[in-house]
Structure 1
Amino acid sequence: MKKVAFIFPGQGSQEVGMGEAFFEQSKDVQSQFLKADELLGVPLTEYMFEGPVETLTKTENAQPALLLTSASIAGILKENGIQPNMVAGHSLGEYSALVAANAISMEEALQLVQTRGRLMEEAVPTGQGSMAAVLGLEAETIEGVTSEIRDQGEIVEVANYNCPGQIVISGTKAGVDKACEQLKERGAKRALPLNVSGPFHSRLMKPASEKFQQTLGQAAIHDADVPVYANVTAQPIKEENKIYELLIQQLYSPVRFEETLRNMMEEDLDAIVEVGNGKVLSGLVRKVNRRMKTFAIQDPESLQSFIEWYKED
C-alpha cells in the first residue's frame, strides 16, 4: 500500500467554476453542495459555478467554497478506498484536513469557516490592513525588518512561511508598505501586495480569534483518525483538545507550511497530494523538494490519474 499525505489549499485558490465537474458527475457531490447552500443560508453553489468572482472571493464565501470542494474530493477518494496516512492544510485548508481526518464533520466545518471568514473580515476596517508576498529573501532578514518596524510603532509580522524564498507578511497597511520598501532595499527580488481583505495571521486578528473561540467551543471536535500537521507548530496532532487550542491560535499565528512539508517528508512518503482547487501547494512542495512525487486533484481527470497511480502494483 502506498503511503500518501493529503494537503488542502487555503484562501486565494478559489475561482469561478470550482467543483462543477465533480458536481455534474456525482449524485453524492450534488447532495453535499445543495445541503451546504441550505446549511449556510447562501447560494454558495451558484457563486462557485457562476460567480461573480467578487462575491465568491468574499472571505465568508471563499472559505466554505474551498472547504466544500476539498472535502468532496477527499470523500470520493475515500469511496475508492484511498485514505491518507497524514494530512495538513494551508490556513483555511487546515479545516479541510480535519474533515478528511474525521475530526470534524463537513457540515460542522462549513459553518465554522463561514463564521471564521466573517469575523476575519470584520476584525479590521477595509483598507487598514494588508498582506504582501516577499520573494528571494531569507526568513531571518524579513523577521529583522518587521521587528524594526514594530519598534517604530507600526504592526507588521510574518504570516506565512511558504517555501524557500517565498514568505508572506501581514499587518497595518502602513506597516506592510514600509516593510516592502525596506525589504527591497535589503535585496528582495519582489515584494508584492496581495489581493486580500485583511491582515490575516497577524496580531490584528486577535479580536476575531476571541470571538471565534465561542463558536468553536460549541463545535463537536473529535480525536483525528490520522496525524494532522498543525499550521501553528508544524507538528502532527490527533487529540481534540490540542486541535481546538491550535485552531484558535491559528488565526493570529504564522502558517509554518515549509516546516510542515519538511516534517511530512521525513515520514518516507510515496507522494504528497493536493486535494482541492488549484495547484499552489503542489508548487510549494516542489520548491521544498523537487524530487517529491506530487499530484494536484482538482477535476475528474486529475482524480482518475491519481487513482490509477495509487492502485498500480
Structure 2
Amino acid sequence: MGKIAFLFSGQGSQYVGMGQEIANEYESANQIFERANESLNFDIKKLCFEGPEEELVKTENTQPAILTTSIAILQAVKEMGINADVTAGLSLGEYSALVYSDVLKFEEAVNLVKKRGKYMQEAVPLGKGTMAAIIGLDREVVDGIIDSAKETGVVEGANYNCPGQIVISGEVPAVEKACELAKEKGAKRAIKLPVSAPFHSSMLKPAGDKLMEELKKVSINKPTKKVISNVTANYISGDDDIRSLLMQQVSKSVLWEDSIRLMIEDGVDTFIEIGPGKALTGFTKKISRKLKKKVTALNVENLKTLGKLKQKLT
C-alpha cells in the first residue's frame, strides 16, 4: 500500500448539522466540540449542529466551526487506527492540518481562526471586492486573462484548485472584466461567488498583518507529520517560519493543485478528506486523472462516509 494523505476542508463547505452524527457516536469527537466551546466562550457546538445558518455563514463563525468539525471527525478516523503520512488543508483547512501535525494546539488554533475570519471580513469594505470561479480554462489562459483585466483594477489568481477550475479575486469591476474575457476565451462558466470579501488577494494584506500580531502569541511546534503549505505548495521544513507562511496565506494564492500533484508524485495513493463537504475529493480525482495516476479519494463527514472508509481501509 502507498501513502495516505489527510486533506482538510476550507471555508464554503459548512452546513447546519455538520459533525453532529459523529459527535453523538464518538465521545472523542464530542469532546472536541466541548473544548471549542470552552476555548471560545461561545456555544459553537450548537451553532454547528442547529444553526441558524445566517450566523454560521459569518466568516468569524464559519472558520472556527469548520476547524472544530474537522478535528472532531479526525478523532473518529484516528480511532480506526488510520493515520496519514502527509497532510494539507485548503486555506482555512491548513489550520486543521497544523493541528493534526501538532504544530498548533487545538485550543489556540480555534481562537486564532475566529480572529482570522474577523480580520479577513473587515479588511475590505463590503461590496468593494469579490471572487469568481473560472471553469474550463487552462491555468496559462486564466493567468493571461488576469493580466489583461488588471487595467481595470486589482484582480489575482486566488485558488488554483484543479485542472479547469481556478478562482480569481479582487475588486468588483476587475473581476467582472476577467469573467467577460474568460467567456470570450471559451470558459464553460465564469461565475461570481457568494463571498463577502476578495480572499487570497493582495487586498487582504491588512488582515495578514493583524493576524501576525495574534500568531506571535501562540506557540508553534515542529511538525510531527509532513505538512504542505498553500503558499509554497511544498513541505513545511523545520526551519520555515510557519507564522510568516500563515500571514502570507491570507493574501496569496492557494496552490492546491500543485500541492496534490506533489503528494501524488511522492507516492500518496490514498486521499482522505476530513470535515464538511467533498470538494477536495473532487479536485483530487481531477488532478490524478490529468496525471494519469490511479488514487483512492474518499471523504469523511458523517457515519455513512465513515463506514465507507472503514470498509475500504481497515
Q: How does the TM-score come out when normalised to structure 1?
A: 0.95
Once the two structures are TM-superposed, the CA of residue 268 in structure 1 deviates from its matched residue by 1.7
**Equivalent pair of 1:226/1:238 in contact (CA under 8 Å):** no
1:286 counterpart SS class: helix
Deviation beyond 6 Å, 4+ runs, structure 1: none
Aligned to 1:220: 219
Q: Deviations over 1:112-166 (max 9, x none)?
A: 100000000000111111000001111122212212222x250011000001100
**Equivalent pair of 2:5/2:87 in contact (CA under 8 Å):** yes
Q: Which residue identity lines up with residue 203 of structure 1 in the other structure?
A: S
Closer/same/farther in 2, CA of residues 168 and 140 from structure 1, 3 Å limit: same
Q: CA RMSD in A?
A: 1.4
Instruction: State the distance in 2 between where 1:69 and 1:260 align.
Output: 23
Instruction: State the distance in 2 between where 1:102 and 1:110 align.
Output: 14
Q: Which residue identity lines up with residue 147 of structure 2 in the other structure?
A: S
Q: Deviations over 1:202-246 (max 9, x none)?
A: 000000001110001111111111110110111111427432221
Q: Which structure 2 residue ranges, 5 or more long, are not aligned?
A: none
> Once structures 1 and 2 are overlaid, which stretch shifts more, 171-180 or 238-247?
238-247
**Equivalent pair of 1:231/1:257 in contact (CA under 8 Å):** yes
Whether 1:74 aligns to 2:74 is: yes
Aligned to 1:49: 49
Q: Which structure 1 residue ranges, 5 or more long, are not aligned?
A: none
Whether 1:293 aligns to 2:296 is: yes
Aligned to 2:260: 261
Aligned to 1:91: 91
Aligned to 1:162: 161
Aligned to 1:235: 234
**Equivalent pair of 1:59/1:118 in contact (CA under 8 Å):** yes
Q: Deviations over 1:145-191 (max 9, x none)?
A: 212222x2500110000011000000011111111112111221110
Instruction: State the distance in 2 between where 1:141 and 1:3 align.
Output: 33
Q: How does the TM-score come out when normalised to structure 2?
A: 0.95
Once the two structures are TM-superposed, the CA of residue 301 in structure 1 deviates from its matched residue by 2.5
Instruction: State the distance in 2 between where 1:188 and 1:305 align.
Output: 35
**Equivalent pair of 2:120/2:197 in contact (CA under 8 Å):** yes
Q: Which residue identity lines up with residue 285 of structure 2 in the other structure?
A: R
Aligned to 2:26: 26
Once the two structures are TM-superposed, the CA of residue 2 in structure 1 deviates from its matched residue by 5.5
Instruction: State the distance in 2 between where 1:197 and 1:40 align.
Output: 23
Instruction: State the distance in 1 between where 2:229 and 2:264 align.
Output: 15
% same residue: 44
1:157 counterpart SS class: strand
